[in-house]
Amino acid sequence: MKKLWLLLFPLLLSACAQQPVTCVCESPANNTAHSGSSRPAIPAKDREAFEKLIQYFATQVKKEWGDDDYMVASKHHYVKYIDGYRTRAHIDFDKGKIWVSTVARYQPEARLKNAIIETLLMPSDPSKVDLFSDKKVVVSGKPFLLGQVVDHDGKPIEWQWRANRFAEFLLANKLTMKQLKKGHAYYVEIDMVQDHLSQREYQYAHLIREASRRYQIDEDLIYAIIKTESSFNPYAVSHAGAYGLMQVIPKTAGADVFKLVKNRNDIPTRDYLFDPANNIDTGAAYFHILKNRYLRDVANPTTKHYSMISAYNGGTGGVLSTFDSDRKQAMRELNAMSPTQVYNALTTEHPKAEARRYLQKVLYFQKEFNAGNL
């Protein structure tokens, strides 16, 4: 399965943090958008390989948990199985909750304790954790959750001894049993601190600032995209094959950035995209491409802003098809409208419902950021 995984996900970008932006002003000949890119849809063989991996993973999990309690990592949820898929950690970044559970019949408390410690001390580098296997989490470096969780004494958890002590407290005072169709599970629930989102934002503020300057993309837009896409979860994955904070798909948006900005002929790897610095750089670089290449003919700055956000989710082709099936005519119609009319069209008439909601969410989070609430 490891070989299959490595073949499956050659992901995004590798470039010097201060590399200048390459001109990308040439108009594309045939911009058929897919999932935030100008490139065609992900090849069928890659989709099939990904589906086979997920099917294998799902089969192993369901053997232990049953169909009703099957859970998998997603954009706003960290889910990691260990111990023959019998023990799992689940973090809901929207709710600020952590659950560590086990269906193991033999020494469940000992298994929970190990899983709690691994979760509290999980590394900041997502490439170190295989979310689609039952491999244990290797603890190293500064914990990702440092500052987002405190122990029963209100202290941040950075070291093994404190994590061990907190795990023992949870098992002694918070252990709960839940009945499942396949048996029962033991679990503990941990509340994240109230400002857990701000704690995550702080980790990446300097990277966002650097990418904003490098590609001349507003900081508030990058923040709003990350909040929408992943809630600042660097472990974010999607079934579309997107990775990391800004949910970049390697063979579409990632390939565009490599070719048009980085002057590279390959595509980003999984580990490359899971690195927060690379991920934010890639997402901001793709906005640069949208602004200066695919949507360069959009005249009004506000209209271009709306179109860029919509295109990041549903592709440039999706934006233009909202107005006309012919691309040139679509651009003429788009430029003939006021920004308000364009916004109304993209949020009510875009062919994809997800894209219609996406523009609304991102603009809301931009407003929240500028009001000091994000």
Residues with active-site annotation: 229
**Contacts of 35 by beta carbon, 8 Å cutoff, 6+ apart:** 41, 42, 240, 242, 249, 252, 253, 313, 314, 315
Helix axis angle, 339-348 to 301-321, nearest 10°: 30
CA distance 100 to 20: 44
Q: Which of 88, 90, 118, 87 is nearest to 104 (CA)?
A: 87
Q: Which amino acid is present at 183?
A: G
Rounded CA gap, 280 and 205, in Å? 10
Q: What is the DSSP string of 90-123?
A: EEETTTTEEEEEE--SSSHHHHHHHHHHHHHT-B
